[in-house]
Amino acid sequence: MENNFYHTPGRYSGIFGWIFSTDHKRIGLLYLGSIFTFFLCGMLLGLAMRLELIAPGRQFVSAQTYNALFTVHGVIMIFLFIIPGIPATLGNFMLPLQIGAQDVAFPRLNLMSWWFYLFGAVVVLTSLFTGGGPPDTGWTFYVPYSVRTGTNVSLAVFGVFLLGISSTLTGLNFITTIHRLRAPGMTWFRMPLFTWSLYATAWVQLLATPIIAITLLLLMVERSFSIGFFDPAKGGDPILFEHLFWIYSHPAVYIMILPAMGAITDIIPVFSRRIIFGYKAIAFSSIAIALLGYLVWGHHMFTSGMSDFSRMIFSLLTFLVAVPSGIKVFNWVASMYKGSIQLDSPMLFTLSFIFLFSIGGLTGLLQGALATNVHVHGTYFIVAHFHYVMFGGTVFAFFAALHYWYPKMFGRLMNEKLARIYWLILFTGFNILYFPMFILGWQGMPRRYYDYLPNYHTGHLISTIGSWILATGVLLMFFNFFRSLSRGEKAGDNPWNGATLEWQTTSPPPTENFESTPEVTKGPYTFR
Amino acid sequence: MSDKIVQSAHFDYTGSKLGMWLFLFTEILLFGGLFLLYAVYRSLYAQDFHNAAQGLSTALGAINTIILLSSSLTMALSIVALRQGRIKYSIVLQTITILFGLAFLVNKYFEWSGHIHEGIYPNSPELLSRSHGEILFYGLYYVMTGLHGIHVVIGMAVIAVVLSFTARGTVSSESFNKLENAGLYWHLVDIIWIYLFPLFYLIT
Ligand code: HEM
Ligand SMILES: [Cu+2]
């Protein structure tokens, strides 16, 4: 029998060999399975909303149901899918491999994080079917409505609190792992840039998540004891809730995007056969993004009530964050310059990431400017913007990384021909779905409404058709993913000729990752 | 497994400490949110906060401060004792630490029930009849000391677990890392109180 972690007998067998395993690779795959499930749930809710919006007037859901739909869609996509997203799945799997370690620093804590995640997810899902019904506040849980509504906000918020613990512990684990468990010769500047991005992300997870934890706790306390922290009638200030919420939730967008950028940075050199351009600039820009990311939360509140002076400061700082992101984009493009580019599926997704993320990022700047912000705030422009960043950015990068590391995880290749077909479907579907939203938003279509004026009809109709195309692509991808598990072509150890450390061991790796502790003598992208 | 792989062959003491300190950071940030609220509302309602603070008993607060400080001492001593191999002595000191924690909670219980008896608790008619700043002061008082109280309970539970490990010999003069980490946690709980005490009882 081959020596890989699927076959090594552990303490438990069968399903228990997975859900009680402390092997980072198994935990990574547990997360992957969970995350796929929630992504599909979230997508179904998204499709339902799009269907409702296919024509003006009520189609098939009531206003209240629509409120629940966008709330639950947002909560699932943000807290259950994209925040654990890349770090917990591919990060868990690849981080120890990339630095030549046997596992993460605290394997049992790692397992516990997954259990927290699962438990939190179950609580969130329970909140949909019990009590006053699914929350209808939007994923931001703004007071005072979230305190007053009769829907099951407390339970949902408690679930998110548990998910926060999971995320914090993962961050803690990764930081310690990177500091303590690098193989001999794996200096900081020989680390793959995916690992660098996980490092920056882990700090954000560690230092921002407690703020959302306390904010959500306060919300629960408010709902149960009506203390009045956010209630003007008792001297409280609702705006303070928004501040606390965004002090976490803006950095959280970097929890979402940094690992995605890291994966992209690892893929580009492999498929251009060139060393990465500006290694240190990319590494430090991850750190810079993480740091600056703490200082810009106010840009979500330009219209909520703030002094002009603070608005100007927040706007300025927001423009500054664009600098390190821009550095990355330029470095990626420069790395491809004069390379011998191979357009395999991971690279196709990577290139579309760069394109879509740039659109998302640049439209973000538009909202960072005070004057335009007032115009587009609370419109579909925002909906388009964050789907371009999160879906076009993070999720496309996630897909790229899945195709890239698939052979590492499963020892087989995904069907390449099919992959190219659904890549095209996904890319077109995505733009048909979301691009019209920019226009709708610019024309004034507000977000979070189940109905609209007839003059917005065309845009919404196109968008809904796009959602069907996109969903087809997603389903084809999942089909390919699961079919290739048994039918995929055998990949060999290193099908893409990657130079980073995870490719230097067998695919799939043995339980202890490397036959013997690797000695690192060169940088991560030296192909010759 | 081959012995060539060094990382897991022996226990990483520094790594374990690093992890613990990172965890403490997150706890500080958790309370940080509340300190932020305190700062904002204190600056908004300085006079009300001043008036409200008169209602708290400095004596009770001071007693609790002394209790917690002493418990930190016994905690630290128990680690020294363990490292010197005086297991029994360490066990006694750990037990005393837990008892101090208990004493703190009992004291807190009486303090809280005193206020509740006077009709001062969140959303009570008596409290609502007072000024905005006083409502918020007592809101913060209950939430911050409450969350701190929960941490005291968790700390006691953690020490109790380590205590049983010490009795069974898994925590010993060779392997004292768990006790040290429990100690770090206990000191954190202590330090947070050191900030709560002046904020609610001393500065008026
Ligand atoms: C799979 C296809 C998807 C479709 C069809 C879809 C569609 C939609 C629609 C129609 C809205 C509501 C607009 C409104 O009425 O305001 C929405 C909101 C949202 N979506 Fe998606 N979406 C998809 C994927 C995603 C992904 C991948 C993410 C994040 C990773 C995401 C995150 C969000 C968030 C955070 C909101 C805001 C919820 C709120 O307003 O509270 N969506 N989406
Ligand atoms: Cu932001």
Domains and CATH numbers, chain A: 5-504 (1.20.210.10)
Q: Which DSSP string corresponds to A177-245?
A: HHHH-PPTT--GGGS-HHHHHHHHHHHHHHHHHHHHHHHHHHHHHHHHH---TT-GGGT--HHHHHHHH
Question: pLDDT tens digits, chain A, 528 residues: what are they?
Answer: 467 888 877 778 788 888 899 999 999 999 999 999 999 999 999 999 999 999 999 999 999 999 999 999 999 999 999 999 999 999 999 999 999 999 999 999 999 999 999 999 999 999 999 888 899 999 999 999 999 988 999 999 999 999 999 999 999 999 999 999 999 999 999 999 999 999 999 999 999 999 999 999 999 999 999 999 999 999 999 999 999 999 999 999 999 999 999 999 999 999 999 889 999 999 999 999 999 999 999 999 999 988 999 999 999 999 999 899 999 999 999 999 988 999 999 999 999 999 999 999 999 999 999 999 999 999 999 999 999 999 999 999 999 999 999 999 999 999 999 999 999 999 999 999 999 999 999 999 999 999 999 999 999 999 999 999 999 999 999 999 999 999 999 988 999 999 999 999 998 999 999 988 888 888 888 876
Measured between alpha carbons, how far is B187 from B75 in angstroms, rounded to an integer? 8
Query: What is the mean pLDDT of the segment spanning B28-40?
Result: 95
Report whether pLDDT(B8) > 60. no
CB contact under 8 A, B143 and A221: yes
Three-class secondary structure of residue A446 per DSSP:
strand
What the block records as the tokens of A136 is: 């209808």
Contacts of B5 in chain A (CB under 8 A): 102, 512, 514, 516-517
The pLDDT score that the predictor gives to residue A528 is 60
Q: Does residue A236 belong to the interface with chain B, where contact is any CB pair within 8 Å?
A: yes
A448 backbone φψ class: left, alpha, beta (φ>0; ψ -120 to 50): left
Closest-approach residue (CA) in chain B for A236 = B136
pLDDT at A368: 92
Chain B CB contacts of A211 below 8 Å: 29-30, 32-33
Q: Which listed ligand is nearest to A464 at the C-alpha?
A: 1
Q: Where are the domains of chain B?
A: 2-201
| Residue A239 CA to ligand 2 centre (angstroms) | 16
Ligand 2 centroid–CA A253 distance in Å is 7
Q: What is the pLDDT of residue A516?
A: 86
Which residues of chain A does B112 touch, with a Cβ-Cβ cutoff of 8 Å?
Answer: none
Q: Does B2 touch chain A (CB under 8 A)?
A: yes
Facing A227 at nearest CB: one of B23, B132, B139: B139
Across B64-71, average pLDDT? 96
What are the pocket residues of ligand 1 if the criterion is a CB atom closer than 6 Å to any ligand atom? A 43, 46-47, 49-50, 70-71, 73-74, 77-78, 81-82, 138-139, 383, 387, 390-391, 395, 447-448, 467, 470
Q: What is the CATH number of domain B2-201?
A: 1.20.120.80
Q: If we measure between CA atoms, which residue out of A321, A311, A237 comes closest to residue A286?
A: A321
Q: Which residue of A has its CA nearest to B121?
A: A227
**Nearest chain B CA: its distance from A255 CA (Å):** 16
CA of A297 to the centre of ligand 2 (A): 5
A35 vs chain B: nearest CA distance in angstroms?
25
Contact A233, B52 (CB under 8 A): no
Separation of alpha carbons B74 and B79, rounded Å: 9
Q: Write out chain B residues lying below 8 Å of A228, CB-based.
A: 122-123, 135-136, 139
Q: What is the pLDDT of residue B28?
A: 96
- Angle among Cα B21, A241, B20 to the nearest 5 degrees reads 5
Give the whole-angstrom CA distance, residue A76 versus residue A176.
29
Within a 10 A sphere around the Cβ of A510, how many other Cβ atoms? Answer: 18
Among B1, B5, B18, B34, most A C-beta atoms within 10 A, so best to mutate, is B5
- The CA B143 to ligand 1 mean position distance, Å, reads 35
When pLDDT is averaged across residues B159-182 and rounded to a whole number, the result is: 92
The closest-lying atom of ligand 1 relative to the alpha carbon of residue A474 is 1
- For residue B7, pLDDT beyond 70: no
CA dist., res. A285 & res. A432, Å (int)? 32
Token reading at A427: 């890319």
- CB-neighbour burial class of residue A60 (10 A; exposed 0-12, middle 13-18, buried 19+): exposed
> Between residues 13 and 32 of chain B, which touch chain A (CB distance below 8 Å)?
14-15, 18-19, 22-23, 25-27, 29-32
Q: What is the pTM of this model?
A: 0.94
| Per-residue pLDDT, B1 | 33
The mean pLDDT value for B56-64 works out to: 93
Biggest alpha carbon–alpha carbon distance for chain B: 72
What is the spatial distance between Cα A364 and Cα A373, in angstroms, rounded to a whole number? 10
Counting ligand 1 atoms within 8 A of each CB, the residue from A77, A139, A157 with the most, and so the one to mutate, is A77
Protein residue closest via CA to atom 38 of ligand 1: A74
Ligand 1 centre to CA of A50 (Å) is 10
B181 with B16: CB under 8 angstroms? yes
pLDDT of res. B10: 58
In chain B, the N- to C-terminal Cα span, in Å, equals 64
Question: Which chain A residues are Cβ-neighbours of B132 within 8 angstroms?
Answer: 234-235
- What the block records as the tokens of A321 is 């964050």
How far apart are alpha carbons A255 and B149 in whole angstroms? 32
**Which of B14, B34, B136 is opposite residue A235, by nearest beta carbon?**
B136
Atom of ligand 1 at shortest range from CA of A43: 1
Contact of A104 with A174, CB cutoff 8 Å: yes
pLDDT at B2 exceeding the cut of 90: no
How far does the CA of residue B7 sit from the closest CA of chain A (Å)?
A: 7
